[in-house]
Structure 1
Amino acid sequence: MESIQTVRKTIQPLLPISSSYSSLPSYNIVPTFSTQYAVQAGYDSLVQSLLSEKTVIIDGFGGVLWESFRMNLQRCFDGYSKKVSWYDIDSSLKSPEEINSMIVANLNGNDPVFGKKYTGNLNDFFDKEKLPLLTSDDNIDLHIVYGTGAALSNWPGPIIYLDVPKNEIQYRMRAKSIANLGSEEILENTQMYKRFYFVDWPVLNKHKEVLLSKINYIVDEQRIDEITWMKGDDFRNTLDSMFEQPFRAKPWFEAGIWGGNWMKERFKGLPQQEINYAWSFELITPENGIVLEGNHHLLEVSFDFLLFRNNYKMLGKAAGRFGNEFPIRFDFLDTYDGGNLSIQCHPRTNYIQEHFGETFTQDETYYILDCEPDADVYLGFQEDIDANEFKQALLDAQKNGVELPIEKYVQKYKAHKHDLFLIPNGTVHASGKNNMVLEISSTPYIFTFKMYDWLRLDLNGNPRPINIEHAFNNLHFEYKGDYVPENLISHPKVIREWPGGRMMKLPTHPEHFYTVDRYEFDHEIIIYTNGQCHICMLVEGETVEVKVGTGNSVFQYAETFLIPAAVEQYTVRNSGAKKAFLVVAYVKETCC
């Protein structure tokens, strides 16, 4: 029997069965949404719900440890003397060679980062002649078809869906305990993640969306020894209730070569033995989960279930443009006592669409949540930039280890708390050390073209990928000189004032489809969503209470929370002794 230690490689703790963090009066690393419906725990309780069935379908996301799940369930069926016949849907997959041939154009050879999104469906991976061969035996008490894609068998019977968080998928990937969809080979980590991102996850998300209305039981599979689960109707009703209240996604944290100690020192519950924390995925919806709490049990599912359920209630006016793609992300970049990020840029819109299959590009901003007096941000080119000279200097650094005098080519600006630096696509940039950056960005998140990485190796002692050619296909060399302080550093404007408070507009660049407001107040404010989803964070102060209807939610300093577009207005009350600064990001009206 596998142990949890052997199937995941990380020091980050598993989500507990029941919440142990919610009472802390500080940033909560395991935020939950309370549901009035039951969250059950354990394999036996699930088996009891299936004893009267003749056929059952167990489907799930990629990365599920299927054999461990099957054995645990079988053990419980044995306790009820139930004769079960199991049918592995993998037996109906196309051969690995056929699948590799089918997706070869999406993987871009051995490129360690970039591929192009596969646009087909999950049934493309299955042999259409093999699927009908899965037939049941009338002499068996219970027939179960299981595995990723099991619902494609079209068997009658209840559907159980197993979800597993994206961070746990990556921990399992690092432990070599899982493989890609339809692959018998366990690839090197960067290649496995690339295939997850560009092939597996797009088709599995489409499949998940189709199944949402049909699921009879939803299972959180991340704890291989003790699952939690809900009935399908209860789950869907809970999703519906989430559109009416503020909530948080579950953040997750990663170390990096430039990472710092700001979060490590301030966020209680983070393992202190980690070398640093470079990132927190506060709200990167393709990789975040939401944690439901019912009768003291916790169940985590992927955030995208909310969009599959009702993208209009979540996104409002922006749903017509973005559909099931959540447009805005919040994440932390922590370089306190760490190092500079790489000198980098992101792709232009037509480039990311043509080369990588994304629908919109990675336009960013850096909001300085905190910083030391010596903190800087690299942004835009010097007035006298010579593109050919710059490229040759980058190549010398990459090939010959020649240190780059970066300030000869790139401007550097002092960072101050609450500054907003604007980084539209094609802008050369990097955060310097001793910054705690709240990155407010459009959602795509892996499309960073590194040009210079200070001659560093990664945490495993390997060179980090450098993408000079991609960068030079996208750089805006006209973002230079005086253009930068005038157009790439936000100049806040007072929109309105009242006793004890004011609302500030932090203008973004015309390339950004989102805008940022900041409310600075002593007591209480009322904010109208105007049919938009608001992504919020308390960036100064201690605690706020957010009232929607009769509900009341409490959020601490540096916690990201969402107000769905279905909420017409919300009241924010400052519960601390200091003035509260609340940052609110949403899609520009003109960009919906």
Structure 2
Amino acid sequence: MSVSNYDKFPATTLSGYIRLGWDNILPEFERLIRSHGPVLAVETYVGIHLSEIVEALRQLAPDLLLQTPDLFKTTSDVETMTQRFVTDDPIFGYRSSLTLSDYLDEKKVAEIEQLLRDTPDRTAVIIGPGASLVAPPFAPIIYADLARWEHQQRMKNNAVSALGIDIRDTGFSNQHKRAYFNDWPVCDAHKKTLFDRVSYWLDTHVPTQPKLIDKATFFEGIERTVNKPFRVVPYFAPAPWGGQWMKEMFHLDKDERNYGWCFDCVPEENSLLFDIDGERFELPSINLVFLRSRELLGEPVESRFGQEFPIRFDFLDTMGGGYLSFQVHPTTTFIKDHFGMSYTQDESYYMMEAKKNATVYLGLKNRVNRDAMASDLRRAACGELVFDTEKYANKWPAKKHDHFLIPAGTVHCSGPEGVVLEISATPNHFTFKMWDWGRVGLDGKPRPINVERGLQVIDWNRDTTYTKNQLFNVISTIDEGDGWKEERTGLHPNEFIETRRHTFSTKVTHRGNGSVHVLNLVEGEEVVVESDTQAFEPFVVHYAETFIVPAQIDQYSIRPWGKSIGKTCMTLKAYIRF
């Protein structure tokens, strides 16, 4: 496969209202104050660079400029309030049930509310998480939103405080844990209540380059996106085991040491781009899930998962790299009881590319000695020995287009010289690393090991015989016709995701059957996705691009396009079983 035309900035195209730069945005804020009253609420997601927006708002010269963190409870109170969700564990917490109102000091808020009532002509701008809870009901709302991927970059740079508490000096792992289990759920729950009230949306993903769109443009972008196939914006990250394939294939920064991950369909974390008259506007793609879950997911999927996108696609690149950690994912019972999550991270490895010596560890060997394995894992975690992975786990040769199924409780690990398309359920934080080859993370510190948790969730019946019969290339032909074939490639019966592989040199018809579809072009340079009823414009997809087809699109077709015409292509499709 030659270098891909992989699009790193896919966008929904539309016309609408957009303003660039503070010089063009602030006059709109002034107009809002003049036309709607003297108080303006600027809501912000956690991770926003509050100082930049505050300095810009000072140019409005309001009589009162309030930052909601100044109205929060004390750091000590926030620590006490969130402790049961954040916990003392270095990685894992428990899903929060707090609201933004819980952060506000009632006495401080009451004083501000009284001040605004006593001086009704005084201009006031209230900014920060929960600004709309402090402002009067008539106050117009601006929302400064942020995608989780960008928040994580800022955490890595120790650039932003957490919600109500400054933990910038505690390391990325601790910051991410608080965000994942507490701050993101709290801010998301509040944002869901505001969509119909927000007058303008503010994009500050790129510092000092703000962009503003109005409510009508925001919803036009949402509607256009959910009525066609679309892609979210991929983001790439290095890893201790990362490789070199994506760097070349996707035209990435060659100065970066490696790229281990490509997250190209994780709507909880990815961005969505609107191309508004030639200008890009960035927002979290999860907004689409919150606003149009039924149209996007399908009614049966929404009834099961609510406003969550349950399918996750990403790449793991070890070409010229190393082994991933030897790991296992928790069972549904364990993840629910210990972390408050409703479903777990079942997954699979689809081999996108593989050199001759590529391998995957999957499942335990027959008649493995549990006590000996547990002892060796514990001793390895203490540095007393090098864990002999091949003594206990199956090491399988891996070739291009192999598919390894990994239901929760199965030990696994991808080896060097491969590129894995990882297809999984969405909870992506719950990996119990039991052995990490004695290395350190990119920060120079040992990566957290979870031997004891891992031992609690291992399914010891997943041995060589079981793995060979049920987890490795369980592929069967479903249907075929002139120039096309559909195969079932899994997943395991324990997993709620179904995968189908289509090999084709001509048009193939797909039917939605009530579920959102997530697909990747795993072979071929480019294809086109079309509607036989012209319900959406033709959508071109390049090699290795992941795309989403909303459930409300009942039928669509895919055929080779451009350089692939006359050649054989292949897609891998995932959807939810009923």
Q: Which TM class, normalised by the smaller chain length?
A: over 0.9
Pick one of 95, 105, 108 that aligns with 1:117. 95
Letter in 2 for 1:148: P
Count of matched residue positions in the alignment of Structure 1 and Structure 2: 559
Q: Could you tell me how far apart the structure 2 residues matched to 1:246 and 1:227 are?
A: 28
**1:333–1:438: 8 Å Cα contact kept in structure 2?**
yes
For 1:471, the equivalent position in structure 2 comes to 454
* Rounded Cα–Cα distance in structure 1 between residues aligned with 2:387 and 2:192: 48
Task: Choose from 125, 147, 154 the match for 1:144.
Answer: 125
> CA–CA distance in 2 between the matches of 1:533 and 1:523?
23
Whichever residue aligns with residue 475 of structure 1, its letter is I
Q: Name the CA distance, whole Å, in 2 between partners of 1:87 and 1:405.
A: 59
Provide, for residues 517-572 of structure 1, a one-character-per-residue CA deviation record: whole Å limited to 9, x for no partner: 11111021121111210001100001011123241111100001000111111121
Work out whether residues 44 and 73 of structure 1, in 8 Å CA contact, stay in contact via their aligned partners in 2.
Answer: no
Does the CA contact (< 8 Å) of 2:147 and 2:283 recur in 1? yes
Please state whether the residue corresponding to 2:501 is helix, strand or coil.
Answer: strand
- Give per-residue Cα distances to partners, 1:114-134, cap 9 Å, x unaligned: 111111211111122322322
| CA distance in 2 between partners of 1:84 and 1:531 (Å) | 54
User: Superposition pairs for residues 39-118 of structure 1, below 5 Å?
Assistant: 39-52=18-31, 53=33, 54-75=38-59, 77=60, 83-109=62-88, 111-118=89-96
Whether 1:555 and 2:544 are equivalent positions in the alignment is no
Q: Distance in 2 between matches of 1:88 and 1:516?
A: 48
Q: Residues 158 and 215 of structure 1 are in contact (CA less than 8 Å); yes or no, is this contact kept in structure 2?
A: yes
> Any conservation in 2 of the 1:538–1:556 contact (CA below 8 Å)?
yes
Displacement, 1:84?
A: 4.8
Following TM superposition, where does structure 1 have runs of at least 4 consecutive aligned residues deviating by more than 4 angstroms? 137-141
- The one-character-per-residue Cα deviations of 1:266-305 (angstroms, maximum 9, x if unpaired) are 102x211111000011112221111111011111111111
Tell me if the contact between 1:344 and 1:451 (Cα under 8 Å) persists in the aligned partners.
yes
Cα RMSD (Å) of the superposition? 1.6
Q: Please tell me the residue identity of whatever aligns with 1:308.
A: F
Give distance in 2, aligned partners of 1:343 and 1:185. 30
- Out of 144-153 and 66-75, give the one that drifted further: 66-75
Tell me if structure 1 keeps the 8 A contact 2:231–2:546. Answer: yes
Distance change in 2, residues 1:250/1:313 (3 Å): same
2:154 to 165, 172, 185: 172
- Letter in structure 1 aligned against 2:331: R
Q: Report the more deviating stretch, 483-492 or 462-471.
A: 483-492
1:214-253 Cα offsets, whole Å, 9 max, x none, are 1110111112212112101221232122111011011111
Q: 1:214 to 1:396 in 2, by over 3 A?
A: same
When normalised by structure 2's length, the TM-score is 0.94
Question: Counterparts of 1:412-423 in structure 2 under 5 Å?
Answer: 412-423=395-406
Q: 1:207 aligns with which of 182, 190, 198?
A: 190
Query: What secondary structure, in the 3-state scheme, does the structure 2 residue paired with 1:117 have?
Result: coil
Counterpart check, 1:516 vs 2:518: no
Q: Residue in 2 aligned with 1:5?
A: none
Question: Secondary structure of 1:422's partner?
Answer: strand
The alpha-carbon deviation at position 170 of structure 1 amounts to 1.9
The answer (yes or no) to whether the contact 1:39–1:298 under 8 Å persists in 2 is no
Match of residue 557 from structure 2? 571
1:349 and 2:332 matched? yes
1:432 equivalent to 2:412? Answer no
Using the size of structure 1 for normalisation, the TM-score is 0.92
C-alpha separation between the residues in 2 aligned to 1:585 and 1:454?
Answer: 32
Per the alignment, residue 284 of structure 1 pairs with: 266
The equivalent position to 1:496 in structure 2, one of 464, 479, 501, is 479
Question: Are the structure 2 counterparts of residues 38 and 343 from structure 1 closer, same or farther at C-alpha, using a change threshold of 3 Å?
Answer: same
Give 1:26's aligned residue: 5
CA distance, structure 1, for counterparts of residue 222 and residue 63 of structure 2: 33
2:21 maps to a residue whose letter is G
Distance (whole Å) between structure 2 residues aligned to residue 128 and residue 314 of structure 1: 39
Distance 1:196 1:175 in 2: 15
Could you tell me how far 1:189 is from its partner in structure 2?
A: 1.9
5+ long unaligned stretches in structure 1: 1-23
Other structure's SS at 1:130 match: helix
Q: Hey, what's the Cα distance between the residues in 1 that align with 2:379 and 2:558?
A: 53
* Aligned-partner residue type, residue 31 of structure 1: P
Kept after mapping to 1: 8 A contact 2:126/2:135 = no
State, as a whole percentage, how many aligned pairs show the same letter.
33
The alpha-carbon distance between structure 1 residues 115 and 585, as it changes in their structure 2 partners (threshold 3 A), is same
Equivalent of 1:481, from 454, 464, 469? 464
Name which of structure 1's ranges 532-541 and 48-57 shifts more when overlaid on structure 2.
48-57
Partners of 2:73 and 2:428 lie apart in 1 by 31
Q: CA deviation at 1:493?
A: 1.2
Post-superposition shift, 1:139?
A: 8.2
Q: What is the CA distance between 1:25 and its match in structure 2? A: 7.0
| Contact 1:39–1:293 (CA under 8 A) maintained in structure 2 | no
Over 3 Å counting, the alpha-carbon distance change for 1:83 and 1:257 in structure 2 is: closer
Write the deviation string for residues 418-470 of structure 1: whole angstroms up to 9, x where unpaired. Answer: 11101000100000111100000000111110111111111222111110000
Contact 2:86/2:178 (8 A) holds in 1 = yes
- 1:377-456 matches, within 5 Å, as 377-456=360-439
2:163 aligned with 1:181 = yes
Q: Are 1:300 and 2:300 matched, yes or no?
A: no
SS at structure 1 position matched to 2:76 = helix
Q: Is the 8 A contact 2:363 2:462 kept in 1?
A: yes
Q: Say which SS state the counterpart of residue 469 (structure 2) adopts.
A: helix
Tell me the secondary structure at the aligned position of residue 464 of structure 2: coil
SS of 1:555's partner is strand
Matched, 1:38 2:21: no
CA contact (8 A) 2:4 2:543 kept: no
Deviations 1:382-432 (A, max 9, x none): 002011000111122121341222111000111111111010001000001
Q: Which amino acid aligns with 1:70?
A: V
Aligned counterpart, 1:582: 571
Unmatched segments (≥5 aa) in structure 2: none
Letter in 2 for 1:27: Y
Q: 1:400/1:91 Cα in 2 relative to 1: closer, same or farther (>3 Å)?
A: closer
2: CA distance, partners of 1:390 / 1:127: 52
Q: Hey, what does 2:228 align to over in structure 1? A: 245
Query: Offset of 1:51 from its aligned partner?
Result: 2.1
Work out the CA distance in 1 between the residues paired with 2:101 and 2:156.
27
Instruction: Indicate if the aligned counterparts of 1:243 and 1:567 stay in contact, CA closer than 8 A.
Output: no
